[in-house]
Structure 1
Amino acid sequence: MNPTGLLEVTAVRRPTPRTVRVTFTGAGLRELEPWPDQQLKLLFPPPGRPVRLPSSAADDVMRWYQAYLAIPEDERPVMRSYTVRGRDGATIDVDFVLHSDVASDGPATSWARRAAPGDVLGRYGPDPAYRRPLSTADTVLLAGDETALPAIATLLSEVDNAVAFVEVADAAEEQPLPVHWLHRDGAPHGTKLLEAVRDAPLGPGAAAWLAGEAGMVRALRRHLVGERGLDKGVIEFTGYWRRALTQDDAPTSDDLADAREKLGG
């Protein structure tokens, strides 16, 4: 399947007050092979402009990215990573988490608030080159905040020996999934999740999948390695977002350390 192209919105729903689920159709989606935690990059056009795709060979991600950077800044779409929440034939669903404060919206969240059928975005992926094998551990811990829900939902459909903890703003954000729901209800982000993971029984053959706010993910990893004795190699982790920073801001020293560890450095 060609990993680059256009997506058109066909439906917009609100499964929870803070979640916008957008259904897209586009060329090649019917041939898309599904797998858990399937990620793609969405390209959001500048206000008032059509989306402009990089002009490069779609099967070479590095040349594609260089061509993306070569687009003039005033025409270059904003690129953000998302996980496919579900698919049905020639359509895919993508969930967007909304902030309670509109003023803190980034370009993707702002777009999602006003998304309507007929809107068009660009995409790169899902690319099979980034497909990761499922863990064969005796127990797989899945832990994250609401931004990790799409990936956790797809992992639960394939992993029978998983135990999942998800922290959300409040009870209204729960979805029909077999997870342990944790409500912040005004508590600092990540504290309820860390408490629950600390109390979770994990056997010696456990592995973990962690995703969500980057600082929260680091705290979970430190606990699992330093206090629970898990080997770093059995922990898959991704910081989806950073508190008070966007994906366009420069990486912090912690971000760079995370990247080195993911690359095995």
Structure 2
Amino acid sequence: MTEEPFQFFSLTALRTTRPSPSFVRVTFGGDDVARLASGGRDQRVKLFLPRPGQNAPVMPGPDDGHWWAAWRALDPDVRGVMRTYTVRDLRREPQELDIDFAVHEVAPGSDEGPATRWALNAGSGDRVGVLAPIHEENVAYDFRPPDGTDWILLTGDESALPAVAGILESLPPGTPAHVWIALQHASDRWELSTKADAHLTWLVQDESAPATEEAIRAADLPDGTPYAWLAGESATVKAVRRHLVGELGFDRAAVRFTGYWRRGTSEDELLRSGEDA
């Protein structure tokens, strides 16, 4: 029998830290971490969170067939809350997994999302599930610049900041990279580690910075063959892609774009629309 490239694992929260005011970093451990793999870059996993009153998320069993169909078949009011996150770090000594949650402080009783609520209240011993790859080479990361790429263009917002950080860490020394990251607050700037020749622009809403598309329009971009990776709010990502492909002439195949979220729409609503399709 062929081994499935993605499998369910059980993890336990070990500790939380705050890389910046709008982020919670949860470090997970457990015996299963040893079998997890990551291709680095913008590696994605599916995280399953318990619902209120549960001490662990309700998830499909290992023999329930394809994970998506099995998860959909569970009672929507009971099954674990599923969200997609980027692996921030996967360490072997000790065996630990870091996931960064973009959160916003909310008033008691307000209707914050379930992932924000869980991350803000996460404590040592809290249990989650994860659907993750068991091989470093897998289909759940998108940053794959082809041979012959001369320079890199990256854009993102808070939701994409962990992935941008991972991509920058993976770039070979001296790689030309032009990066725009949109934030609401200046206090959420991170110290990003890279050996690339990176030109980083923070677009801070509190400082009346221009929108990402406007900032790129005003930029003096290098010559040569580019590769672009765009992620964040769906409408913004599409606007930047239209500019790069339609106006600047980027090869469509050299522009990888992903809408991590859609303004005015919750992830649960997007999941429900996908289930009804």
Q: Answer whether TM exceeds 0.5 for this pair.
A: yes
2:191 is equivalent to residue 176 of structure 1 = yes
1:156 is displaced (CA, Å) by: 0.8
Partner Cα distance (1:84, 1:66) in 2? 24
Relative to structure 1, the CA distance from residue 208 to residue 133 in structure 2 (aligned partners, 3 Å threshold; closer, same or farther) is: closer
1:33-67 deviations in whole A, cap 9, x for unaligned?
A: 33221110011111001312202448x6xx11111
AA partner of residue 150 (structure 1)? P
Shift of 1:180: 2.1
**Number of the residue aligned with 1:77:** 80
Q: Give the Å deviation of 1:243.
A: 0.9
After superposition, residues 191-210 of structure 1 pair within 5 angstroms as 191-200=210-219, 201-210=221-230
Higher alpha-carbon deviation: 203-212 or 31-40: 31-40
Q: Matches of 1:186 and 1:245 in 2, distance apart?
A: 26
Aligned pairs for 1:49-64 (under 5 A) are 49=54, 50-57=56-63, 63-64=66-67
Q: Counterparts of 1:1-265 in structure 2 under 5 Å?
A: 3-35=7-39, 36-49=41-54, 50-57=56-63, 63-89=66-92, 90-102=95-107, 103=110, 105-126=112-133, 128-132=138-142, 134-136=144-146, 137-160=149-172, 161=175, 162-177=177-192, 179-185=200-206, 187=208, 191-200=210-219, 201-250=221-270
Tell me, yes or no, if the aligned pair for 2:51 and 2:80 is still in contact at 8 Å. Answer: yes
- Distance (Å, rounded) in 2 between the aligned partners of 1:241 and 1:172: 22
Q: Is the 8 A contact 2:45 2:140 kept in 1?
A: no
Instruction: Among all aligned residue pairs of Structure 1 and Structure 2, give the percentage whose two residues are the same amino acid.
Output: 38
- Whole-angstrom distance in 2 between the partners of 1:3 and 1:247: 22
Deviations 1:191-213 (A, max 9, x none): 43222222331424111000001
**Contact 1:84/1:93 (<8 A) preserved:** yes
Give the gaps of 5 or more residues in structure 2.
194-199
Aligned mates of 1:212, 1:116 — CA distance in 2: 28
Cα distance in 1 for residues equivalent to 2:257 and 2:142: 12
| Cα root mean square deviation, aligned | 2.5
TM-score (norm. length: structure 1)? 0.85
